[in-house]
Amino acid sequence: MINRIRDIRRQKRLTLADVAARCAPPTTAQTIGRLETGTRNLSLVWMNRIAAALEVEPELLVRGEEAEQPSLIARLLESGADALTTPREAVLPTALGSEGALVAMAVEASAGEYRAGDQIWLRQLPPETFARLLNRDVLAPRPGGRFAFGRLIDRDDARVALLPPGPGQRQVVIDSPAWLAVAEMLVRKL
């Protein structure tokens, strides 16, 4: 098995020291480096600790040699597309994170900046975090198993107000939603 700790750490722009400090209990940058390079055995305990520190599922840290994974081969800069010196594996979203699970919503009809065929990945957050979501696109549960989606434009102790995407939409007010899911990633086919 080949471990992907270095690829994931670099993609998340973390240093060895950052990952070491995020481990519970904290460890040293040297230990993380040895685990990355295979000089030290990556046990199940270490795999779980490092996965939590990197906020990914533990199974993303290891892969079989024959597994074909999506690769990052270039980056887009102001000057245009720039090739990476060596391709890196793309880290796909996972349900594990510092807070809440990831959920996805399919866009079947264009609305505002969203096009039919898009997927919106959102992270579910509890009510105590709603204040930091102002002016962000969120999905909110409504009574009867329904949902509302739009920009969070106002909130107070018990209510949130959303403005759905697209011109001429009226705000939707929801009383005491159990959670809000904030948009984190847009997946769009070209």
- Is the pTM above the cut of 0.85? no
Asked if residue 130 and residue 180 are part of one domain, the reply reads: yes
Residues 78 and 114 in one domain: no
Same-domain status, 77 and 109: no
Asked, for residue 11, whether it belongs to a domain, the answer is yes
Q: 95 in a domain, yes or no?
A: no
Sign of CA dihedral 67, 69, 74, 75: negative
pLDDT tens readout for residues 149-161:
999 999 988 899 9
Residue-wise pLDDT for 38-68, tens only, equals 888 888 899 999 999 998 888 888 865 445 5
Q: Which of 36, 62, 89 is the last residue of a domain?
A: 89
- Residue found by looking up tokens 């959303």 in the block: 162
Domain that residue 179 falls in? 102-187
Q: Do 71 and 10 share a structural domain?
A: yes
pLDDT value of residue 190: 77
Specify the CATH number for the domain of residue 168.
2.10.109.10
pLDDT digit string, tens, across residues 175-185:
999 999 999 88
Please report which confidence band the pLDDT of residue 22 belongs to, taking 50, 70 and 90 as the band edges. Answer: very high
